[in-house]
């Protein structure tokens, strides 16, 4: 899917003097479908004898009564996100109309603040995209100022990025981008190919940057979804390393992939304890995007890359175990975010770090009761080999100290307990840095890829006490997500840190089984908000 912009300098539908000429310009574009929005007030005006203006009335005059007719047969509704398609008839040509269809979308009663919220807008965007897809529409011209009625100008960027995010979600089909991924030959996207966002002078700058940011984000999300959905016999640690290196050739990201010997040399005894049970070698991936000044402190993302989690010797039950191929979704989201940041030439220094291996049972595997030494020097009593995510992350968190980061955010499908706490709605957010909590919460609201804060205080650390080592790797059933985060926090004392538990949000189960691409939108919006 392709996204682009088209600027009509003078088009302004909020100025009654310019309304007619704006519509004439838009209608004269060769497009499969022009998308325009109307409010409840516009619809009221259409039905009233006294009104002389409003987008629907003006449009009706230009379309020889087509809008009145649609209203007469009951196709127009004031209810927010209701839609109506007007199809070209021969009489339109006389007025110079070139668009083949007009999709009218209701903004509802825009005098209410709720109707102007981003959540309300997201419903409108979804309804619009649904109408545009599945039929013969190939390209659409979406006039953004008609949706921005009563909105702040800076809101437009969020709205446009969100629309692109949704369009990307709608168009995504597993494995259509890379020939090596074609497992289901016929799975083709049944959606339109080109979405053009139209604007005017007043929003041109915001619009252009939002479209290129949104398009880059969709690329990052698609890659992240593909990596998550790939089967675990193909998406191995080596495959993740090769993928990262491939991006380096494509975008100029600097990528380093360390193998077992180098990981041993770094003293990552905890990470290696997880990798031990598998015949496939572990990899430690470092990706750098240098878009900022040379000495500028980087933002660092760390992603959990367990390419398959059997539980190890503490073997998981068989039901839905296939879904543990998704245990590398943290890693996939970091790779996707780095790719998007590079594509949008973000003017910041960003580093992505990924410890990746399999968690398998074997004669070589770590046993419950084993004690291992982490890179930080702290010893860990492994009481459950299925709590492996924290064991690979803790060494990565120690490793990133060398970057003197501005902030470190790790992303992990860390605990089943997080699904019990938050379901599949919000990702779990753990941090003691109020600034980071605020920034991530805001980024979640802007992308509707939301987070919910859970606690991380000293009281929970009690549960991780070990009689034989500095710390145990499990804290029992109560507050399982919190004790997992507490474990990680012991390795993050040198910098500002937040942990995202995406166990409930990174993929969907059941009939719609598939990776969601979350939290790429959250991380991209976070990066864009950093001044
Ligand atoms: N990858 C799992 C967490 C998980 C489970 C995510 C199910 C999504 C769905 C993680 O490695 C794990 O197994 N965690 C254990 C921790 C426990 C042993 C303390 C869990 O959640 O059961
Ligand atoms: Mn596990
Ligand atoms: Zn796991």
Q: What is the 3-state secondary structure (H, E, C) of 208-261?
A: HHHHHHHHHHHHHHHHHHHHHHCCCCCCCHHHHHHHHHHHHHHHCCEEEEECHH
The tens digit of pLDDT for each residue in 252-288 reads 999 999 999 999 999 999 999 999 999 999 999 999 9
**Best mutation site among 380, 388, 415, 427 for ligand 1, i.e. most ligand atoms within 8 A of its Cβ?**
415
Ligand 1 atom closest to the Cα of residue 484 is 19
**Is it the case that residue 468 has pLDDT exceeding 90?**
yes
Residues 6+ apart with CB under 8 A from 238: 280, 281, 283
Angstrom CA distances, 449 to 174, 414, 444, 454, stand at: 21, 18, 5, 16
pLDDT-derived band at 48 (thresholds 50, 70, 90) equals: confident
Closest ligand to C-alpha of residue 321 is: 1
At 93 the pLDDT is 87
Q: 2-202, which class in CATH?
A: alpha beta
CA–CA separation, 362 and 147 (whole Å): 58
Q: Which residues contact 429 (CB under 8 A, 6 or more apart)?
A: 437, 440, 441, 451, 452, 453, 454, 498, 499, 500
CA of 211 to the centre of ligand 2 (A): 39
CA of 457 to the centre of ligand 1 (A): 21
Q: Rounded CA gap, 242 and 255, in Å?
A: 10
The whole-number pLDDT of residue 152 equals 67
Location of each CATH 3.40.630.10 domain in the chain: 223-529
Contact 349, 296 (CB under 8 A): yes
Cross-strand pairs, 354: 285
Nearest ligand atom owner, CA of 416: 1
Percent of the chain with pLDDT over 70: 96
| Ligand 1 midpoint to CA 386 (Å) | 7
> Would you say the CB of residue 108 lies under 6 angstroms from ligand 1?
no
Most informative mutation of 386, 502, 509 for ligand 1 (most atoms within 8 A of CB): 386
Enzyme catalytic residues: 316, 390
491 three-class SS: coil
pLDDT of residue 420: 98
For the entire predicted model, the pTM comes to: 0.97
Strand, helix or coil at 350? Answer: strand
**Assigned CATH for 223-529:** 3.40.630.10
CA atoms of 343 and 210, how far apart (whole Å): 13
Q: Residues spanned by CATH 3.40.220.10 within the chain?
A: 2-202
Helix (H, G, I), strand (E, B) or coil at 92: helix
The token pair that represents 329 in the structure block: 């979704």
């Amino acid at each position: 899917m392709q996204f682009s912009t088209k600027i009509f300098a003078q088009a302004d539908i909020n100025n009654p003097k310019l309304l007619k000429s704006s519509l004439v310009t838009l209608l004269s574009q060769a497009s499969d479908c022009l998308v325009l929005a109307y409010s409840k007030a516009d619809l009221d005006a259409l039905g009233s004898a006294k009104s002389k203006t409003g987008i629907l009335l003006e449009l009706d005059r230009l379309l020889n009564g087509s809008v009145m007719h649609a209203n007469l047969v009951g196709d127009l509704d004031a209810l927010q996100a209701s839609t109506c398609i007007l199809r070209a008839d021969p009489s339109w040509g006389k007025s110079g109309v070139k668009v083949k269809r007009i999709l009218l979308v209701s903004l509802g009663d825009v005098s209410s603040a709720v109707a102007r919220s981003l959540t309300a807008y997201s419903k409108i965007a979804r309804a619009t995209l649904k109408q545009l897809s599945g039929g013969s529409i190939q390209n659409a011209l979406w006039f953004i100022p008609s949706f921005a009625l009563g909105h702040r100008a800076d809101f437009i960027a969020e709205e446009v990025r969100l629309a692109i995010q949704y369009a990307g979600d709608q168009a995504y089909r597993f494995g259509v981008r890379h020939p090596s991924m074609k497992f289901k030959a016929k799975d083709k996207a049944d959606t339109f190919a080109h979405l053009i966002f139209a604007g005017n002078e007043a929003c041109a700058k915001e619009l252009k940057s939002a479209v290129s940011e949104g398009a880059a984000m969709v690329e990052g999300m698609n890659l992240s979804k593909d990596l998550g959905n790939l089967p675990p016999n193909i998406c191995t640690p080596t495959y993740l390393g090769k993928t990262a290196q491939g991006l380096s050739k494509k975008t100029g990201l600097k990528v380093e992939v360390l193998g077992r010997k180098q990981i041993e040399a770094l003293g990552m005894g905890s990470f290696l304890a997880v990798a031990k049970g598998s015949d496939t070698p572990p990899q430690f991936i470092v990706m750098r995007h240098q878009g900022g000044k040379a000495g500028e402190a980087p933002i660092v993302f760390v992603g959990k890359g367990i390419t398959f989690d059997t539980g190890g010797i503490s073997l998981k039950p068989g039901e839905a175990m296939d879904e543990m191929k998704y245990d590398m979704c943290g890693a996939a989201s970091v790779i996707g975010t780095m790719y998007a940041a590079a594509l949008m030439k973000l003017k910041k220094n960003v580093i992505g770090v990924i410890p990746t291996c399999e968690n398998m049972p074997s004669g070589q595997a770590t046993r419950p009761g084993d004690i291992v030494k982490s890179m930080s020097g702290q010893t860990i009593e492994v009481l459950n080999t299925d709590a492996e995510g924290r064991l690979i992350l803790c060494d990565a968190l120690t490793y990133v100290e060398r970057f003197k980061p501005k902030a470190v955010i790790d992303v992990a499908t860390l605990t089943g307990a997080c699904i019990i706490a938050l379901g599949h709605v919000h990702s779990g957010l753990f941090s003691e840095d109020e600034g980071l909590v605020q920034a991530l919460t805001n980024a979640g609201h802007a992308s509707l890829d939301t987070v919910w804060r859970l606690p991380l205080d000293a009281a929970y650390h009690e549960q991780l006490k070990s009689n034989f080592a500095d710390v145990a790797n499990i804290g029992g059933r109560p507050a399982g997500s919190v004790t997992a985060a507490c474990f990680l926090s012991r390795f993050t004392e040198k910098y500002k840190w937040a942990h995202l538990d995406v166990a409930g949000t990174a993929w969907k189960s059941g009939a719609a089984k598939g990776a969601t691409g979350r939290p790429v939108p959250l991380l991209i919006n976070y990066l864009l908000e950093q001044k």
